[in-house]
Amino acid sequence: MRRRSFAIASMILGIGLLSGVGRAQNPATQIGEKVDEAVQGVKDQFARAKTAVHDMGVESRVYGRLHWDKALNGVDFTLEVRRGGVATVRATVPDAAMKSKALALVGDTVGITQVVDQIVVSLQATTTTTTTTTKTKNANP
């Protein structure tokens, strides 16, 4: 009888220990999973921030190339660089050669993978008004 009681007690104790160990591992496992999720979240945020900073740098490089090119002097460009190096260029230029030059500069900039062309060629972009004054002599002084 003692042996049977001892066996039952041992079995109950073993089940209790195993269930206790299972409970102890469960919170630790949950904590580990939470830490992994938090680390992954930080990595994702860092990647987004890094991409945003990279895109800002790319936009600055493109703007600088367009602004300082003498062939494009006086053209007001609007730029937008989205994730992945997609650049949208807007402007009004007087001729197709200027448009071609601008698109080439944007496309050849490091970090640009695609150029969305929204440049309009318009002769009115260079129209300037000149006034001519004619002096006439008065025949009767």
Under DSSP, is residue 24 helix (H, G, I), strand (E, B) or coil? Answer: helix
- Percent of the residues in the chain that have a pLDDT greater than 70, as a whole number: 67
Q: What is the pLDDT of residue 1?
A: 56
Under DSSP, is residue 79 helix (H, G, I), strand (E, B) or coil? Answer: strand
Residues whose CB is less than 8 angstroms from the CB of residue 73 and which lie 6 or more positions away in sequence, other chains included: none
- Model pLDDT for residues 79-134, shown as the tens digit of each residue: 999 988 999 999 999 999 999 999 999 999 988 999 999 999 988 755 444 343 33
11, pLDDT greater than 70: no
26, pLDDT greater than 70: yes
